[in-house]
Chains A and B, each alone.
Chain A
């Protein structure tokens, strides 16, 4: 499985953009990058995923570098409710396509 590296914690001011980085230098050509977040004592919530191109949805934008060795999740206008642990995951390309979670980044949005 391709490993991911994320900073353990980040802070962001409410209303500002939150940019969460992720390194995945061993990613292979057919492996997708997924982002999930987990608020305390809840199941993970899907945010976005991508393969090569940048992606945007109602929650966030995903910027993947051209060499695919890193990506950035962007929350354009962070709110207090965005405080959570954010996980960047490279999906296993094997037959079961399992998601293996790393340690994630604790994003704290401050008022």
Chain B
């Protein structure tokens, strides 16, 4: 149980375009989801926390207008990277909190901006 499905697993986009990443909880309702970014040889960096039906809370230094997060239902959160640039190339990972103590992670999305 407590599976999170993240799509796409890999995406290549042109500089200046937007990319949407989906994160779905398959067998539970996720009131809270988290989005992380990971650069090569570095740890996961929390970008934002999203709660169903409300605006996301962004960590310091993360541009909310560039990384749009939507959590419109209890099973789906999306991250849209707008006007992507090569420096946005990274590994993006979502996570969902279930019950009180559980956290499950998606398999990640490798974004390459060319």
Q: Which residues of A contact B (CB under 8 A)?
A: 32, 34, 36, 38, 41-46, 49, 87, 96-104
Contact of B46 with A100 in the complex, beta carbons under 8 Å: yes
Using a CB-CB cutoff of 8 Å, which residues 57-97 of chain B contact chain A?
A: 57, 91, 93, 95, 97
Q: Are A98 and B91 CB-contacts (below 8 A) given A32-B101, A42-B108, A46-B103?
A: no
CB-defined contacts of B36 to chain A, threshold 8 Å: 101
Task: Specify which chain B residues have a CB less than 8 angstroms from the CB of A100 in the assembled complex.
Answer: 46
Question: CB-CB < 8 A to B105: which residues of A?
Answer: 36, 43-46
Q: Determine whether B29 belongs to the interface, using a CB cutoff of 8 Å to chain A.
A: no
Secondary structure call for the A interface = loop
In angstroms, Cα B49 to Cα A96, docked, is 7
Chain B hits for A34, CB < 8 A = 103
Q: Would you give 28 A-B contacts (Cβ < 8 Å), ordered by A? A: A32-B101, A36-B105, A41-B91, A41-B108, A41-B110, A43-B6, A43-B93, A43-B95, A43-B106, A43-B108, A44-B44, A44-B95, A44-B105, A45-B105, A46-B102, A46-B103, A46-B104, A49-B101, A96-B51, A97-B97, A98-B34, A99-B34, A99-B95, A99-B103, A100-B46, A101-B45, A101-B46, A103-B43
Say which residue of B32, B44, B57, B106 sits within 8 Å of A97 (CB atoms).
Answer: B32
Smallest CB separation, B97 vs chain A (Å): 6
Assuming A32-B101, A96-B49, A99-B103, is B108 touching A104 (CB within 8 A)?
no
Measured CB to CB, the closest approach of chain B to A97, in angstroms, equals 6
Those of B1-20 within 8 Å (CB) of chain A: 4, 6
**Are B49 and A98 closer than 8 Å at their CB atoms?**
yes
- Cβ of B93: which chain A residues have Cβ within 8 Å of it? 43-44
User: What 8 pairs between A and B have smallest CB-CB spacing?
Assistant: A43-B105, A101-B44, A96-B49, A101-B43, A44-B105, A43-B107, A43-B108, A103-B43
